[in-house]
Chain A
Amino acid sequence: MAARASSKRPARPAGPAPAAPRPAKPLALVYLLGWLIPGGGHLWLGRTKGLVFMVMLPLMFVIGLALEGRLFPFTPGEPLVALASIANIGAGLPFLIARTLGYGAGRAVAVTYEYGNAFLITAGLLNALVVIDAHDIALGRK
């Protein structure tokens, strides 16, 4: 009888929806750290997988520079160049260092120019994915 009565009960008591999970660390700092230092957000949240990102993403960036790829300037008049520029910025500190030191001029006639661009752009985009993953971890979703 009791079992029948309990089976009629709703699975969850009626009432206000459960509150959104509170982040363990300030999200803005997780984003900033994760963007500046690839994998830094993960490490701050106690996930050692951040070490892999910390090695691989700057490595991809350096390979891209070595292959004579270009760090694109932000030119809103040329949408594809602007998108490539945003992707470059996604690499974080390696991008800022390279830009400050004058690297990434690119040599369009080099055989490896497009490969270099692929490495540089992909490093930035993958870092964006890593930051999004850190966001999920900070919210306790992973």
Chain B
Amino acid sequence: MSTASHLLLMALFAGCVAVVGGVLLKDTPREQARGAAEIFGSLVGAAFVLGWIIYFLPI
């Protein structure tokens, strides 16, 4: 697993959480799919935004 990509692992984690969260929070399959997509997009989007913010910080 040492060759695993950080981006891939982050997307895999976000995907798993999104599927569980979407199914947990909504009732119909359509709503669940939409909810999962929103959670996935939020997690990955937030990671990109935070990543770019940290990139410019002098740490």
Is A52 in contact with B23, judged by CB distance below 8 angstroms? Answer: yes
Is A63 in contact with B12, judged by CB distance below 8 angstroms? Answer: yes
- B9 close to chain A: CB less than 8 A: yes
**What bracket does the count of chain B residues touching chain A fall in?**
10 to 19
Residue of A nearest to B3 (CB): A111
Is B1 in contact with A118, judged by CB distance below 8 angstroms? Answer: no
Chain A residues contacting B17 (CB-CB under 8 Å) are 122, 126
Report if A129-B13 is in contact (Cβ < 8 Å); known contacts: A56-B19, A110-B2, A112-B2: no
User: Secondary structure at chain B's binding surface: helix, strand, loop or mixed?
Assistant: helix
- B59 close to chain A: CB less than 8 A: no
Closest 5 pairs between A and B when the two form their complex, measured CB to CB: A52-B23, A115-B9, A60-B16, A112-B1, A49-B23
Q: List chain B positions with a Cβ less than 8 A from chain A.
A: 1-2, 4, 6, 9, 12-13, 16-17, 19-21, 23-24, 27, 32
29 A-B residue pairings within 8 Å (CB atoms): A49-B24, A49-B32, A52-B19, A53-B20, A53-B24, A56-B16, A59-B16, A66-B1, A67-B4, A68-B1, A110-B1, A110-B2, A111-B2, A111-B4, A112-B1, A112-B2, A112-B9, A115-B4, A115-B9, A119-B16, A122-B13, A122-B17, A126-B17, A126-B21, A129-B24, A130-B20, A130-B24, A133-B24, A142-B27
